[in-house]
């Protein structure tokens, strides 16, 4: 569900991110007057935290299913192999279990998990002599976000304006419900450069705020925005080609 929602954000060119629904979104809202979303989120997280602290295995399994894959992708950016990334994620889960009683809820549970992960991955990466600051990687991608030929040239009527603008897609949310479309989306995200994949995953799939991603990945706000824009543009271009071929 989160992946599909992220895709709709990408293909529609959305600027403001919405919070993506997690496994607990199916829980019924309490009856009575409307409750602000932030209050509902806090209530659900408090309930989840209470379940985790009481040793509820189902709650922990749901948390692992929700975040494990993204955590491994982020860990992989700091270490040399998938196997080491998996070890880092396992260490993170163990540390989270051990630290639940000390979790003070100054940030969301998800943000707290990713902070533990990032610290462990950076430590392991430094030990493996592979730790590279994200800020130094970000400018390495010199490719334009959108192909230059899609803009009018210096001798055209409107230089720099669209020559071939993005074609609006009819009902993108419905079209992205197909398994084939979702596989295309996963492939498009998986083909991104590492930094772009991490930023797009954390922002559009995991729903982290920009400042959280900057802190986790050691990025400036400007770099984070540029990387996210390039990642979204690349994913959109791949999906655009696939939609046109499938039409």
CATH number of the domain to which 144 belongs:
1.10.10.10
Average pLDDT, whole number, for the chain?
74
Range of the domain at 152: 134-246
pLDDT tens digits, 129-160: 644 455 444 444 556 656 666 566 666 666 66
Average pLDDT over residues 199-228: 88
Q: Output phi, psi for 162, to 5 deg.
A: -60, 130
Q: Which tokens is 192 given?
A: 């991104």
Q: Note the pTM of the prediction, 2 decimals.
A: 0.57
Residue 29 resides in a domain: no
Residue 116 pLDDT greater than 90, yes or no: yes
Angle between helices 57-76 and 109-127 (to 10 degrees): 40
Residue 212 resides in a domain: yes
The total number of structural domains that make up the chain: 1
Residue 98 pLDDT greater than 70, yes or no: yes
User: DSSP class of residue 17?
Assistant: P
pLDDT of residue 61: 92
Residue 57 CA: distances (Å) to CA of 23, 28, 100, 112: 15, 22, 14, 20
pLDDT of residue 46: 87
d(CA 76, CA 83): 9
Residue 195 resides in a domain: yes
159 closest CA partner among 167, 147, 151, 169: 151
Residue 238 resides in a domain: yes
Judged by DSSP in three states, 162 sits in strand
Residue 242 resides in a domain: yes
């Amino acid at each position: 569900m989160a992946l599909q929602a992220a895709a709709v954000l990408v293909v529609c060119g959305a600027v403001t991110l919405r919070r993506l629904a997690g496994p607990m979104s199916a829980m019924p809202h309490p009856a009575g007057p409307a409750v602000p979303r932030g209050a509902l989120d806090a209530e659900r997280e408090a309930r989840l935290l209470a379940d985790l602290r009481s040793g509820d295995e189902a709650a922990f399994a749901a948390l692992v299913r929700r975040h494990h894959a993204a955590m491994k992708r982020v860990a992989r950016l700091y270490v040399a192999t998938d196997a080491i990334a998996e070890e880092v994620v396992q260490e993170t889960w163990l540390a989270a279990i051990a630290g639940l009683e000390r979790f003070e809820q100054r940030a969301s549970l998800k943000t707290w998990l990713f902070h533990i992960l990032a610290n462990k991955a950076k430590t392991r990466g430094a030990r493996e002599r592979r730790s590279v600051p994200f800020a130094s990687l970000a400018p390495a991608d010199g490719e334009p976000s959108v192909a230059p030929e899609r803009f009018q040239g210096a001798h055209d009527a409107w230089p720099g304006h669209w020559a071939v603008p993005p074609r609006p897609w009819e009902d993108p949310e419905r079209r992205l419900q197909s398994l084939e479309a979702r596989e295309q989306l996963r492939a498009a995200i998986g083909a991104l450069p590492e930094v772009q994949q991490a930023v797009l995953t954390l922002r559009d799939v995991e729903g982290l705020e920009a400042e959280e991603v900057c802190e986790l990945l050691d990025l400036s706000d400007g770099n984070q925005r540029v990387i996210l824009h390039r990642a979204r543009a690349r994913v959109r271009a791949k999906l655009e080609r696939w939609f046109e071929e499938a039409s």
